[in-house]
Structure 1
């Protein structure tokens, strides 16, 4: 009996049917609610851009958006600084040690988000562990609870797995013989790392940075529990508008502005990363 090999059209049809469930879920649970929010931000109570003008003309709202962007960038950079050497160590050790390090990274996923944030609440409150550590070294009156700094510290811990895992996946695929080749050509130690290894790890860096930055912009639970209304982030303001003021149109306008800013920042990161990666790779070739 001769097996029938599907043609190109058949393979495309099969691929389309395989994509259909994910596409349907995306349309129903993401695109449709987003479209409704955007429509209400323009249509209520009268059609126009009054809500966007109100947000952009309010200095308090502008400060909230800028504070959110600044906090997300700080969280992203701090997470990258912590995650890069950790992921590098994971790519260098043996299989058992790597499994243990991976277990430590994945452990936060197995813990309730509320439990983790309440743990940080206990650590950061006045008289907590962090305050006592600063008192022991002679720095008194440290209280991270209710500050953007306290929110940032907790968010770095929450976002760490989302930076480590893309970095580890990329670093495991880097051929280490390239470093030996660079060393044989005179590029040893830090020079080989900067000119060879770092450019090759950039896909993981960009993936982790993008995920952490986007999630940090819209994260709600940690800022709500550890922050204050006086130093609120955009997600807290949107939640207040929806839950307390029932201002769905104003919340949609603020969310849409934040979405546009997110896309612009990501486009800027992508635009800057392409020539940077090309120049660093070119430097590796010349080295």
Structure 2
């Protein structure tokens, strides 16, 4: 028997493998169907219902709920929401990256202690933490009293019921969400790469920026997305530490439902915020993908 006798069987084997692969894919889809139905019921259906309420009113289809968003008050709350989200995310990067780097370079016991301090706020209710900052930052709070006793200020600083107090409280709550994924990414970096770069003549700063930072971009991106998205939907902290002077869209949505009982306007606010958030996340994904492709070249 020659090799030519086996040639007709090769296409048949390939077709059989293709049929088997398609059958496996159909089986996997069938097994995943309950999960898809559950996700569709819990996520997609409420989103569709939200969009429907925003365009359908008592008199039928209407765009009034969206046109009213052009009012200056809505624009102001939208700008405030994104300003706070970007500011909190930036401060979490400035504070969280050195903290995660320190924890990743320490010995296991000391690293565990640092992470315990990072995780400690999770053991306390969000409402309790927000009221604690309210006590610390008020005009006769501990911080102002200490600063006045040390002679650093003559009059109490306005640290609460404004943009500053809201930012401080949100950064404190969001910081663990940034540090944890970044720390996990840093622990996977082989530190011998830094030593190799140093042996090849790179300075510590250059090795850090050109080797270490790019290798931690996945954790950095995950932390940024978590902090940014969660900051956009904050309600309790801005409501308490902002004192009604810092109005975010989550508070605007609550006011539309609780005060005015206008579900259409609240739905339109939610839809616009969702679309803008998805757009920013898409742009962020494209940006990080372009950076990764450039570094790969």
Taking structure 2 as the reference length, the TM-score comes to: 0.86
Deviation at 1:12, TM superposition (A): 6.4
1:17 aligns with 2:31: yes
1:224 aligns with 2:236: no
Deviation at 1:281, TM superposition (A): 5.5
1:79 aligns with 2:92: yes
Cα offsets for 1:94-125 (capped at 9, x unmatched): 22122222222222222111111111111111
Match of 1:183 in 2: 198
1:89 aligns with 2:123: no
Cα offsets for 1:3-31 (capped at 9, x unmatched): xxxx754586357636744x444333332
CA distance in 2, matches of 1:19, 1:165: 33
Cα offsets for 1:27-84 (capped at 9, x unmatched): 33332222211110000233122111111x2011001101100110000000111111
- Cα separation, partners in 2 of 1:34 and 1:73, compared to 1, 3 Å: same
Deviation at 1:263, TM superposition (A): 1.5
1:163 aligns with 2:163: no
**Paired residue for 1:255, among 267, 270, 291?**
270
Matches within 5 A, 1:125-140: 125-135=138-148, 136=150, 137-138=152-153, 140=155
Structure 1 vs Structure 2 CA RMSD: 2.0
CA distance in 2, matches of 1:157, 1:24: 37
Moved more, 72-81 or 45-54: 45-54
- Cα separation, partners in 2 of 1:105 and 1:12, compared to 1, 3 Å: farther
Q: Which runs of 5+ in 1 are unaligned?
A: 1-6, 283-287
Deviation at 1:185, TM superposition (A): 1.2
Aligned length: 274
- Cα separation, partners in 2 of 1:270 and 1:133, compared to 1, 3 Å: farther
CA distance in 1, matches of 2:296, 2:220: 15
Taking structure 1 as the reference length, the TM-score comes to: 0.88
